[in-house]
Homo-oligomer: A and B are copies of this chain.
Amino acid sequence: MSEKRLQEFLETVRSDLDRTVNFWVKHSHDTVNGGFFNCIDKDGKIYDETKHVWLQARQVWMYARLYKEMKRFQKPEILEAAIKGAEFLQKFARNPETYRCYFALTKEGKPVKIQRTIFSECFYLMAMSELGIVTGKQSYKKEALMMMDKIVHWVMEDDTEIGRQSLEGAPPHSSLAVPMMMMGIISQIETMDNSLSNKYSKATDWAVAEVFKHVKVWIIEGSNDGYSERCNEMELLYWRMLVWTAVNSRGSGGRLMTPGHAIEAGWFLLDLASRKNKTELAETAIQTFMINPYNYGWDNQYGGLYYFLDVDGWSPAQLEWDLKLWWPHNEAMISFLMAYKHTKDVKYLDIFARIFDYSYSHFVDKEQGEWYGYLDREGKVKIRSKGGVWKGCFHVPRALMMCEQMLEAMNK
Please determine whether A314 and B47 come into contact, CB atoms closer than 8 angstroms. Answer: yes
Please determine whether A47 and B252 come into contact, CB atoms closer than 8 angstroms. Answer: yes
Q: Tell me if A112 is interfacial: C-beta within 8 Å of chain B.
A: yes
Taking a contact as CB atoms closer than 8 A, the residue among B170, B315, B374, B382 that contacts A384 in the complex is B315
- 1/0 contact string of A91-118 vs chain B (CB within 8 Å): 0000000000010111011111110000
Copies in the complex: 2
Q: Tell me if A376 is interfacial: C-beta within 8 Å of chain B.
A: yes
Q: Tell me if A335 is interfacial: C-beta within 8 Å of chain B.
A: no
Give the chain B neighbours of A385 by CB distance below 8 A. Answer: 314-315
Give the chain B neighbours of A109 by CB distance below 8 A. Answer: 169
Q: Tell me if A76 is interfacial: C-beta within 8 Å of chain B.
A: no
Please determine whether B112 and A319 come into contact, CB atoms closer than 8 angstroms. Answer: no
Q: Tell me if A159 is interfacial: C-beta within 8 Å of chain B.
A: no
CA distance A110 to B226 in the complex (A): 30
Q: Tell me if A49 is interfacial: C-beta within 8 Å of chain B.
A: yes
Please determine whether B323 and A319 come into contact, CB atoms closer than 8 angstroms. Answer: yes
Please determine whether A167 and B383 come into contact, CB atoms closer than 8 angstroms. Answer: no
Q: Tell me if A350 is interfacial: C-beta within 8 Å of chain B.
A: no
Please determine whether B48 and A252 come into contact, CB atoms closer than 8 angstroms. Answer: yes
CA distance A50 to B168 in the complex (A): 14
12 residue pairs of the A-B complex, CB under 8 angstroms, read A39-B251, A39-B252, A47-B314, A48-B250, A108-B169, A112-B167, A112-B170, A114-B165, A315-B383, A319-B319, A319-B383, A322-B382
